[in-house]
Structures are given as C-alpha cells and as structure tokens.
Amino acid sequence: MSKFINESWLVLVMGIVFATMLAGAQQSLSDRIKENQLRALNEAIAEVVPGTIRSESIEIENEDFKGNVYKCLDDGGKLVGWALDSSGGGFVDKIRLVVGIDPAGENIVGLKVIENVETPGLGNKIQDPEWTGQYIDLDTSREIKVEKRPPNEGANEVQAITGATWSSRYVTDIVNAALPKVRPELDKHR
C-alpha cells in the first residue's frame, strides 16, 4: 500500500488540483457559454419574424413534432408572429432551420437555415437569403412544392437551387412536415 502511495501520490494530488481548476473554469464560464448557444437561435428568430423583441417557448402537444415553437412578441407584448425551430435530414447531414409565420398562422414571413453541412458552393446555398426569401408569403395550409423552374403565379412553390435539387427538397420537406403539426395548436397559445 505504501508503495502504491509512493508511486502515485503525485497523480492523485495533480488530479485533485486539476479537477478543481476545471470546476472553477466551468463555473465562471458556463453562463457565457449558455448565452452563446442561445444567441444564434434568438438572432434567427428576430430575423424570420420581423419586429420580434422577445420570444417565449411554447409547448406543442403533438408528439410527432420534434422541434421548438416560440411565440414572438414586440415591446408591448403584442403577438407579432410565431417561430418554428425544426430539423431534419439533409443531403449530407442534419439541417436545422427556423421558419417564421404571421400571427394568424396563415403565411410564412421568413425562413433561415441555421445549421447545415451541405456541399459548399452547391447545397449550402440554402443559406442564401435570396433563396430562402422565396418562402415568404407562401401559404402554410398547403404543401410547398419544389420545382426546377421559377414558381408560377399564385402557386405554393419555390425554385430549386441549380445543382442542389436534393438539398432544396430536404429544406422544403422539413417545413412541410412541421407546419401541419404546429398550426392547429397555435390558437391555444394566443
């Protein structure tokens, strides 16, 4: 036993000192880290639902929906819209996006892809505001279709990115999957 202590006392002492150091660093930095993690999401919400000053997370009872919904309010507490944080598979790996809809829940007012690893130069153009801008004013009650040509007047369509049809389709799939599950429940939270 004393041989063991003789060989390893330094390891034990260092272990304790280091663990304390790490615990201290963790304590002092964890608030900042959490803030950082939320900031990307909050900035996205403010972008997709213009006029948002603050947002509250709301519970969606539909178990099939695996995302988060936020009620977006302005300064005076008035409802300015809803933001859906939803993810799904993309061509390469996971895509995470935030889609904003108007207070009535009828039209899309914004869309932002916040996480993706699609092919640079092709699939990752789904991040471009020019492309996601196509979703604005689309009808939330009908399925959104992806076509390889400019959208027809009045149709619920977006044009796919040239050379990145799959990535474009996956983004639309995520939106199409999320909207029907969330829309019916919005009234409960007005």
Partner 1 sequence: MADDNGSNLAQFKAGLLSDNPVLVQLLGMCPALAVTNSLENALVMGGAATFVVVMSNLITSVLRNLIKPHVRILIFTLTIATFVTLADLFLKAYMFEVSKKLGAFIPLIIVNCMIICRAEVVAIKSGVARSLADAFGIGIGFTLALSIMGCVRELLGSGSLLNIPLFSKEFVDVHAWVIMVLPPGAFLTLGAIIGVVNHLRDRKSGGGA
Partner 2 sequence: MEFGVLIGIFISVALVNNLVLSGFLGICPFLGVSRKVDMAFGMGCAVTFVITVSGVVTWLIVHAVLTPVGAAMGDPGALYFLKYVAFIMVIASMVQLVEMYLKKFFPPLYEAFGVFLPLITTNCAILGACLYIDMKPETQSLLNAAVYAFGGGIGFMMAITIMAGIREHISFSDVPKPLRGAGITLLVASILALAFMGFTGMGK
Chain contacts with partner 1 (rule: CB under 8 A): 7-8, 10-11, 14-15, 18, 21-22, 25-26, 29, 32-33, 36-37, 39, 119-122
Q: Tokens 């149709």, residue?
A: 155
- Indicate which single residue of 43, 93, 106, 137 sits in contact with partner 2 (rule: CB under 8 A): 93
Other C-beta atoms closer than 10 Å to the C-beta of 177 total 15
The reply to whether 17 sits near partner 2 by the rule CB under 8 A is no
Task: Please provide residue 187's backbone torsions phi and psi, each rounded to the nearest 5 degrees.
Answer: -60, -30
**Interface positions, 156-175, toward partner 2 (CB under 8 A):** 166
Which of partner 1, partner 2, none has residue 32 at its interface (CB below 5 to 8 Å by kind)? partner 1
Smallest distance, partner 2 to C-beta of residue 11, A: 11
- Residue by residue, DSSP assigns 37-66 as HHHHHHHHHHHHSTT-SEEEEE----TT--
Nearer to partner 2, 65 or 82 (CB): 65
Do 164 and 119 form a contact (C-beta atoms < 8 A)?
A: yes
Do 105 and 179 form a contact (C-beta atoms < 8 A)?
A: no
Segment interacting with partner 2 (CB under 8 A) among 16-24, 46-54, 142-150, 179-187: 16-24
The reply to whether 82 sits near partner 2 by the rule CB under 8 A is no
The reply to whether 8 sits near partner 2 by the rule CB under 8 A is no
Which of partner 2, partner 1, none has residue 14 at its interface (CB below 5 to 8 Å by kind)? partner 1
Smallest distance, partner 1 to C-beta of residue 122, A: 8
> Residue 161 and residue 167: Cα distance in Å, rounded?
8
> Residue 98 and residue 82: Cα distance in Å, rounded?
10
The reply to whether 129 sits near partner 2 by the rule CB under 8 A is no
Smallest distance, partner 2 to C-beta of residue 21, A: 10
Reading the block at residue 91, the tokens are 């061509």
Residue (of 51, 71, 69, 72) closest to 60 by Cα position: 69
